[in-house]
Amino acid sequence: MSADTKNQDSLPQVTTVAYGFNGSYGLLMAFLPVLVYYLWICNDYYGGSLVVPTSWAELREFFGHVAAPTWKAAAIYGGWFGFQLLLQVFAPGKWVKGAELDDGKRLDYKMNGWFSWWATLAVAAGLVLTGALPATILYGEFAPLLTVVNIFSFAFSGYLYLHGKLWPQGEKIRGQFFYDYFMGTSLNPRIGPVDWKLFCEARPGLILWVLINFSIAAKQYSMIGTVTTPMILVCAFQFWYILDYYYHEEAILSTWDIRHERFGFMLAWGDLAWLPFTYVFQAMYLLHHPFELSLWGVMGLVTLNMIGYTIFRGANIQKHRFRKDPERPIMGRPAEYIKTARGPLLLTSGWWGMARHINYCGDLIMALTWCMCTGFNHIVPYFYIIYFSILLIHRERRDNAFCAAKYGKDWEAYQAKVPYRIFPYIY
């Protein structure tokens, strides 16, 4: 994309405003880990129903399921995180330039996720097949692992906070501890060849999510002698989602997180603790509620997931290719876009002519499909679609506020051209 630097003084200035959260950073850091424990206990011990303890004894019994960290869990996660870090550094992969940042820089990133994904699965399969580790180990150690990862995430976020303080990269630091710790003090904290934000978003949590699913499926097989069709569908849908992510790994470099979000507790804890330990709730629910689906049910869920995937992947790859080559045709026709006074181009054709975040539409359809695999009897396995809807709507609002401040009248013209936010003709 070209950058027009003329008349910069007349352009709207973008300030370091924290869009959203309303200053509740400390409260969120205290509440979110407790929420994960609460939902997990409801799902694994109370059949997927939301339980409200009404006495001190009931409260103690409920949270008595929380496990203290163990050396075994610490060794598992330490080995896991270290193994993924070694792959990031030493596994083969091409180096590519990231998207242009607000200061005009383009950082170098090593794209070796595809190799690391398959290497990890091969090692995991080898450990299970040789009897070195039981297939059910991640489910069996879920409780102490959750505690270990929470502790590690808070400590790692402290490191990220100090990293930005000691080695500033030009970002303005607000100077308020909870805000800086939560939102981050650096946009792209790095040590040697490792970009911490890309690594945490693309490695430990995502692959661990899939492996915990497989461990839960193995537990179901050990309990009832089979793996049910709904369990297979959940594991297959989510396996495909991550496989596709690594196949198109380079596309992450043009996402909001990589380009604009600083790397602090919000992203680090979300990547390392929230994602792998809450995204498995559908599989965990199905472990305790085995049932079978009709052929029509299977076909309907597969079709719905494919529709969501087509929108999600089609939109993301379309925007990624447009950013690399704005003259590339979109769906067989010349790309339509608005050239902003700041230089960046705002795509208004193809998928992106339907809604400003049409990719979120596809993502939410897939999320709903995964939840529907569990039936309609309890709320906890539907937590993912509820949370994900709130997250993406909130993120779209933050993105809209950021872009309105950055592009001014050009953004108003863009909104007039593409009036819908996520769902065409609906929202």
- What DSSP assignment string belongs to 294-355? -HHHHHHHHHHHHHHHHHHHHHHHHHHHHHH-TTS-BTTB---EEE-TTS-EEE-SGGGGT-
Residues 175 and 247 occupy one common structural domain = yes
pLDDT in tens, the chain (427 residues): 333 333 333 333 344 444 455 568 889 999 999 999 999 999 999 999 999 999 999 999 999 999 999 999 999 999 999 999 999 999 999 999 987 777 778 899 999 999 999 999 999 999 999 999 999 999 999 999 999 999 999 999 999 999 988 887 766 677 788 899 999 999 999 998 899 999 999 999 999 999 999 999 999 999 999 999 999 999 999 999 999 999 999 888 878 788 888 999 999 999 999 999 999 999 999 999 999 999 999 999 999 999 999 999 999 889 888 888 888 888 888 889 999 988 888 999 999 999 999 999 999 999 999 999 999 999 999 999 999 999 899 889 988 998 999 899 999 999 999 999 999 999 8
Residues 179 and 319 occupy one common structural domain = no
What does the pLDDT read at residue 17? 44
Residues 298 and 262 occupy one common structural domain = no
140 within domain boundaries:
yes
Rg (CA), the chain: 22
Which of 272, 291, 310 delimits the end of a domain? 291
Residues 172 and 305 occupy one common structural domain = no
Q: Are 92 and 112 in contact (CB under 8 A)?
A: yes
Which of 258, 291, 324 delimits the end of a domain? 291
What does the pLDDT read at residue 16? 42
Residues 206 and 223 occupy one common structural domain = yes
Residues 305 and 198 occupy one common structural domain = no
Residues 88 and 179 occupy one common structural domain = yes
110 within domain boundaries:
yes
What's the whole-model pTM score?
0.89
Q: What is the largest CA-CA distance in the chain?
A: 70
Q: Are 343 and 3 in contact (CB under 8 A)?
A: yes
Closest CA to 255 of 370, 68, 392, 81: 392
170 within domain boundaries:
yes
Containing structural domain, residue 363: 293-427
Residues 358 and 225 occupy one common structural domain = no
302 within domain boundaries:
yes
363 within domain boundaries:
yes
Q: Are 93 and 108 in contact (CB under 8 A)?
A: no
Which of 231, 260, 291 delimits the end of a domain? 291
12 within domain boundaries:
no
Q: Are 154 and 266 in contact (CB under 8 A)?
A: no
d(CA 293, CA 288): 16
d(CA 349, CA 357): 13
Residues 177 and 120 occupy one common structural domain = yes
13 within domain boundaries:
no
Residue type at 369 in one-letter notation? T
Buried b (16+ CB within 10 A) or exposed e, 337-376: bbebbbebebbbbbbbbbbbbbbbbbbbbbbbbbbbbbbe
Residues 200 and 130 occupy one common structural domain = yes
7 within domain boundaries:
no
Residues 235 and 384 occupy one common structural domain = no
Residues 262 and 316 occupy one common structural domain = no
What does the pLDDT read at residue 166? 86
What does the pLDDT read at residue 22? 55
**Structural domain total, the chain:** 2
